[in-house]
Structure 1
């Protein structure tokens, strides 16, 4: 910790010293370490209080951790920050509980005057929860009662369905004669008329007539989302869809402008969206466009390292691809098969072709997979890409991974496919017990979110939130990963409890695991690493696991600069002080 120049010994004076706590370095709780020093935007040293405080100077800022934990900043490996920010600035239903609370919020927005950029007076936003409505999906008449004259388009929390009212259907020209698109489905009433919920590609039937979401709106949303992510200790993330989806345009231009202006402070990367109408013949042009977009984004300081492919949907609307049929026939009108097994949005042939081409072009594959057939099909595509491109360094990953056939567990390590887990979902909440398990049955329900089995088989682990689908707070997801139960459902039994992760594994996945996946600096607290770090409100290794969800991030730094300080007497500004001269 000293330097010698011209035979004189100089002792560095650190800018920051965090002392008297516990240190998790991204992989483990460091034995004997109680302090971290920061200078020049990097981690300078990790050691004991005595070792580091002896090197404090008159300008050193010291933080008394008082037994708390300091970790690398969290990296969210799968988030929709642009969508989340825009929706939080619009009709935001994400933090509400119950149908009536949603309707009250919608009525409030419907009562606001229309603006020049929205002459039809559209009410847009999202975040409604399927578990709040009978059968999982509300109808247009419920919306009509609170917004009879204003068109309404509200995306649900998982972003696989939209709720619309009668006026919205009229403006979009949708009626009983409108066919379901190939990649989606329209919920219908007994007369075949759209009932008000649109799934997957059917969302676009209304989204195409919405007022445009401008780059300025997206940029405002990203800035808003960034501040919220910092407040929960997230210092880096992967924007999981950069392309036209669900009424949103590509947010790349907004990210480029923020990066160029220095307003993008977090370590953000992005995944370019592979459209669901991709064909084998269109793959070369797609890859060429991706290469051009990657270069343009990189020139502005925004990395687009991945390609996002949505292999299937979600089980609650029968679009997750299953090896065996759902236990309940699809209730939709038309010619739904009695042995419904869900959707593969790209045929195996197309998925394999695009995976090989994108891997060969240096993109990491980011695959949305929910059902066991989607998992197997995705693994087959990665295997083909690895075989076609020997020596490929692709950091391919699969997000969500709800149902995995036991025969496929070992393939993740064999193919070096990272598990990109959204651990908050691995619990028995209303949606799981009332909507999901009845469709899957007992055996397949026991295959859900097998994190411990994947880890034991040697798979890499990363974590993300899928915000605004669910909370971006990593401590909520870590709580469920460790307990397999949600703090809001204390009386519910754990979901497949033998698949719980140790706290060390969950923390490592959300820090070093996700940063590695994102090809981002940081994710560790070791000398020389970027000083992206978070001080938390307690040491979770001292807590009962049932209390993990109570933790908060109190101080957050990116590159050695504070981006969030919780302003309470015992955890925010009062922790910051300068040493005496």
Structure 2
């Protein structure tokens, strides 16, 4: 005899991820677990006076999105600090900083993030813009992609950064003609402020985590992989915030944390990472928090010419320079490190953006396989801005997962003004080659890199399908073969990321026995013209059958 359900979702379409097309079915949930997926006519036997019936209103029920590369604690903190992500020009950014400083006169430092490189000449804002509005307090602001920092004169003075300060090996100080710091710092040079800048307090990090969770629930995201658990980029260790949230019962999402690999250290840090992983595993359920991943940052980003490329960047006149980007970890050491942590049972989450970085990373994964044999660690490479076609088949061959940030796969000012002009003419064809990776058998996962860019999965899926941002009149980025179809992109953001997170046994699909971590999309994106996918929105989000978000308008 059928057991009455606590919840039944009906009146719409279901994307199970086990099929490439939506189905007109109903879904029953009891005790937070999916118990049946049946034709709508068969729901009577599952219904009691206590069953809550959720009308999908013709929309689409999908597994909760899972973000495979995100920084929720720093993103949440930035929502609470000087947040420049809404600025559309340099003038707007400066005005927002001035307004924030005026509203917070007691802050010793003005900190925040979100300025966009394409709003400033050469991608580099200057200190005098900040000095004009905040001359008496240090100002330190991360760029939207978090690979550059903007500082005022006071901040440079407090940190002791002068014309005599050498560039670190993994970064660069932008300078005036006499060598004086001009205002922007790239990559590891930003860490020159670490000894003097106020660290994010544990309480602020906790409040940031809660703000991030609420924001992500509103976008249908029910789980994620935190791409930096540790103290990189000047952040406090987010593990403290997660532990508090678990103990206070406020962490409702399921989280995998990537322990930050300090590239200035070496193999000696592995033992501490093992101890942290095992300690968390002993204290918390794996479905709530897991630290079995290590994050290695292999290179930088293309817009400041620190992404590791196979050929040199060009200058403004189209001539080759002597700069082909930075490999943050020596390739031979990378092989040694990856082989060691793979043997210890860790998954490795790589930042690999340039084609040389991708190749060096795949070489390291291959070395680990040759030494350790096959396993289920599920290593994955994030970003993949440029990938040589010779390397795309290697993903499937090595069981390496392509962790795509498809929101970036379109023409936009930062790409068109700061990146493509400085790369070979044919590089656009290999830019964010998600279609090519998919056609070569690579398993796809998806993420946002929020707060670097929007955490909205639907916006990212729209661009994966169209290779054009919503409402833009730009031509698509690259050839049509780089597009993904809607079902493939949706699957990457659900089942694909669940696989990366080792949660494919109970999340990422709508099938009996899986958790009722679900999102409702209206209208059904499969009913829309591809150019209108972005108009579909999340109307409700559910975690273990409990509604954690409901659209109010």
Same fold (TM over 0.5): yes
Residue 523 of structure 2, aligned match among 528, 532, 538? 538
Residue 154 of structure 2, aligned match among 167, 183, 193? 167
Q: Does residue 84 in structure 1 map to residue 68 in structure 2?
A: no
- 1:356 deviates by 0.6
In structure 1, how many angstroms separate the alpha carbons of the residues matched to 2:321 and 2:420?
18
Q: Does residue 437 in structure 1 map to residue 420 in structure 2?
A: yes
Match of 1:426 in 2: 409
Residue 532 of structure 2, aligned match among 547, 562, 566? 547
Further displaced range: 411-420 or 87-96: 87-96
In structure 2, how many angstroms separate the alpha carbons of the residues matched to 1:456 and 1:498?
9
The 8 Å contact of residues 149 and 185 in structure 2, kept in 1 or not, is answered as yes
Deviations 1:235-283 (A, max 9, x none): 000000112222112211211111122111001111001111133xxx1
Q: Does residue 323 in structure 1 map to residue 314 in structure 2?
A: no
In structure 2, how many angstroms separate the alpha carbons of the residues matched to 1:256 and 1:289?
18
The 8 Å contact of residues 484 and 496 in structure 1, kept in 2 or not, is answered as no
Q: Does residue 528 in structure 1 map to residue 513 in structure 2?
A: yes
Further displaced range: 78-87 or 46-55: 46-55
In structure 1, the residue corresponding to 2:295 is in which secondary structure? strand
The 8 Å contact of residues 429 and 492 in structure 1, kept in 2 or not, is answered as no
- 1:66 deviates by 2.0
Deviations 1:13-72 (A, max 9, x none): 111111111100124356653211111100111121111244211111111112110000
Instruction: Report 1:401-550 matches (<5 A).
Output: 401-487=384-470, 489-520=472-503, 521-550=506-535
Instruction: Report 1:64-79 matches (<5 A).
Output: 64-79=55-70
In structure 2, how many angstroms separate the alpha carbons of the residues matched to 1:198 and 1:32?
51
Residue 256 of structure 1, aligned match among 240, 243, 251? 243
Structure 2 unmatched ranges of 5 or more: none
Deviations 1:67-109 (A, max 9, x none): 1100000000000001100011000111221112211110012
In structure 2, the residue corresponding to 1:14 is in which secondary structure? coil
State the aligned residue count. Answer: 546
Deviations 1:280-299 (A, max 9, x none): xxx1x211100111122221
Match of 2:39 in 1: 48
Q: Does residue 348 in structure 1 map to residue 335 in structure 2?
A: no
- 1:391 deviates by 3.0
The 8 Å contact of residues 75 and 515 in structure 1, kept in 2 or not, is answered as yes
In structure 2, how many angstroms separate the alpha carbons of the residues matched to 1:32 and 1:200?
47
Note closer, same or farther for the CA distance 1:506–1:32 as it changes in structure 2 (3 Å cut): closer
In structure 2, how many angstroms separate the alpha carbons of the residues matched to 1:494 and 1:356?
36
In structure 2, how many angstroms separate the alpha carbons of the residues matched to 1:133 and 1:430?
11
Match of 2:184 in 1: 197
Match of 2:375 in 1: 392
In structure 2, how many angstroms separate the alpha carbons of the residues matched to 1:330 and 1:253?
49
The 8 Å contact of residues 183 and 276 in structure 1, kept in 2 or not, is answered as no
The 8 Å contact of residues 67 and 448 in structure 2, kept in 1 or not, is answered as yes
In structure 2, how many angstroms separate the alpha carbons of the residues matched to 1:424 and 1:286?
34
Note closer, same or farther for the CA distance 1:547–1:427 as it changes in structure 2 (3 Å cut): same
Note closer, same or farther for the CA distance 1:31–1:220 as it changes in structure 2 (3 Å cut): closer
Q: CA RMSD in A?
A: 1.6
In structure 1, how many angstroms separate the alpha carbons of the residues matched to 2:226 and 2:49?
41
Note closer, same or farther for the CA distance 1:547–1:502 as it changes in structure 2 (3 Å cut): same
Instruction: Report 1:154-233 matches (<5 A).
Output: 154-233=141-220
- 1:489 deviates by 2.7
Match of 1:562 in 2: 547
Structure 1 unmatched ranges of 5 or more: 3-10, 332-336, 569-581
Q: Does residue 101 in structure 1 map to residue 92 in structure 2?
A: yes
In structure 2, how many angstroms separate the alpha carbons of the residues matched to 1:498 and 1:386?
31
The 8 Å contact of residues 83 and 468 in structure 1, kept in 2 or not, is answered as yes
Q: TM-score, normalised by structure 1?
A: 0.92
In structure 2, the residue corresponding to 1:246 is in which secondary structure? helix
Q: TM-score, normalised by structure 2?
A: 0.96
In structure 2, how many angstroms separate the alpha carbons of the residues matched to 1:509 and 1:493?
21
The 8 Å contact of residues 446 and 496 in structure 1, kept in 2 or not, is answered as yes
The 8 Å contact of residues 78 and 238 in structure 1, kept in 2 or not, is answered as yes
Match of 1:18 in 2: 9
Match of 1:310 in 2: 297
The 8 Å contact of residues 74 and 510 in structure 1, kept in 2 or not, is answered as yes
- 1:495 deviates by 3.6
In structure 1, the residue corresponding to 2:174 is in which secondary structure? strand
In structure 1, the residue corresponding to 2:165 is in which secondary structure? coil
In structure 1, the residue corresponding to 2:494 is in which secondary structure? helix
Deviations 1:94-153 (A, max 9, x none): 1221112211110012113454xx5xx211110111122221111111111121112111
- 1:488 deviates by 5.1
Residue 284 of structure 2, aligned match among 282, 291, 300? 300
Q: Does residue 35 in structure 1 map to residue 19 in structure 2?
A: no
In structure 2, how many angstroms separate the alpha carbons of the residues matched to 1:491 and 1:454?
24
In structure 2, how many angstroms separate the alpha carbons of the residues matched to 1:364 and 1:507?
24
In structure 2, the residue corresponding to 1:446 is in which secondary structure? helix
